[in-house]
Each structure stands twice: as structure tokens, then as C-alpha cells.
Amino acid sequence: MPDYCTCGAQLPPDALFCHKCGKPQRELVAPEIEANTYPAAMAAAPPPPPPRPESPPLNFHNPIAVRIALVVALGATVLMFLPYINWFAAGYFAVFFYRRRTGCLLNVESGVRMGWMTGVMMFAILALLFTTSMIAIRALGGIAALPAEFKNAVDPKALESLKVLLNGQEAVGLLIQMFFFVTCLSMVGGALGAKLVGNQKSGA
């Protein structure tokens, strides 16, 4: 490095600039930036997993639960020739379809609630069909007014039971028993559904 600047000023040892005119006295070399040796995975941490969706209250104010319970109840009513089995299966499949539709976790209590809703809707449909049939038979004049072909095709024991059911008190008793069996079996099916599929990860 020269002892004097071109302007004539004497330079101190290792001077980078002239203190008089400011002229650089030597070339400045920029320091090299060390490359990042950390892997990309360490540089950016993965985002946390999204929280699992929580199920809203399972009651008749839950529109998704009401729609699923109604559809399953209608399907189980079509299978009324399989009593007890269809009521139990209705509670199970109501929980199954609700889990698939919403992705929400369901515990046993939630499964029982879903099964109860489905059972109440099934009972309402069955009670409506039963009441409509009794009113229609009475309007026609009772069992005696039914066509002979119908009487011959039906089991005589079934006709005797039908005569008894035309009595209002007997019909009410049957409806009470039906409500008990339909709702209880549906709740059991819902509890089983919650136990088997309610806590599984959704594939959707």
C-alpha cells in the first residue's frame, strides 16, 4: 500500500481511504457468505395437523343428523318384514352414515342419541301407517267388510289380532310397546355403531 495518496496526503498504516480526499487506497473484497448446510426439512418445520372436527349436539336441531335419521328410518320401515333386526340395524347405519358424512368423532353416548332419533322417526312412521290402516278398516265396516280374498290369504290368527286391535285401548297398548322396542333397539344399534365406526379415521 503506498505511503502517500495521489493528492499528496501522507497515509497512516493500513489505511483504507485517504483522510483528506476520501480516495480508496486498496481493493475491498466482499466476504463470502457460507451456504446453508441445513436440509430443507429442518429449515421449514411441517405445519401442525388440522384439529379433528367435533360433532355438533346430536338432537333434532342438527339438520344433518335429522336428514340421515329420516332416510335410515324410511329404509328400515321398508324392511318391516324383518322386525327387531331392521330396528337394530337402523341405529347402527344412522351412526355409520353420520360419521361418513361429517367426519366427526362419535362416542357411545352420541351413538345412543343418534339411534334414539332414528328410532323416534321409525316409530312415528309406523304409528302413522298403523293408525291410517285402523281408520280405513273401521271406515269400511270392520273385519267383516273386508274382501273374502283378503281373509283367505291372511292367517286366521292375524285376523283375530286385527279384531282386537280395532279396540282403541288395545291399539294404544300396542303403540306403547312398539315405541319401547323400536327406540331401545335403535339406541343399542347406535351405541354399537359408535363403538365400531364412530372413532375410526374417516377415509374421505
| pLDDT tens digits along 25-68 | 666 555 555 555 555 545 556 666 665 556 678 889 999 999 99
Check residue 65 and give its pLDDT. Answer: 94
3-class secondary structure, 109: helix
Check residue 172 and give its pLDDT. Answer: 79
Assess whether pLDDT exceeds 60 at residue 200. no
Check residue 33 and give its pLDDT. Answer: 59
Give domain status of residue 148, yes or no: yes
Domain range for residue 120? Answer: 63-198
Give domain status of residue 37, yes or no: no
Check residue 155 and give its pLDDT. Answer: 60
Same domain as 157, residue 74: yes
Give domain status of residue 32, yes or no: no
Same domain as 86, residue 16: no
Q: Where are the alpha helices (DSSP H) in the chain?
A: 40-43, 63-78, 85-102, 108-140, 148-153, 156-165, 168-193
CB 105 within 8 A of CB 55: yes
Assess whether pLDDT exceeds 60 at residue 184. yes
Same domain as 76, residue 7: no
Over residues 111-122, mean pLDDT: 94
Give domain status of residue 46, yes or no: no
Stated pTM of the model: 0.63
Same domain as 9, residue 104: no
CA distance 93 to 73: 10
Give domain status of residue 18, yes or no: yes
Which of the two residues, 170 and 200, has the higher pLDDT score?
A: 170
Check residue 164 and give its pLDDT. Answer: 63
Same domain as 10, residue 70: no
CA distance 117 to 71: 12
Give domain status of residue 45, yes or no: no
Domain count for the chain: 2
Same domain as 161, residue 93: yes
Check residue 203 and give its pLDDT. Answer: 40
pLDDT band at 157 (very low <50, low <70, confident <90, very high): low
Same domain as 73, residue 6: no
Same domain as 90, residue 7: no
Same domain as 143, residue 69: yes
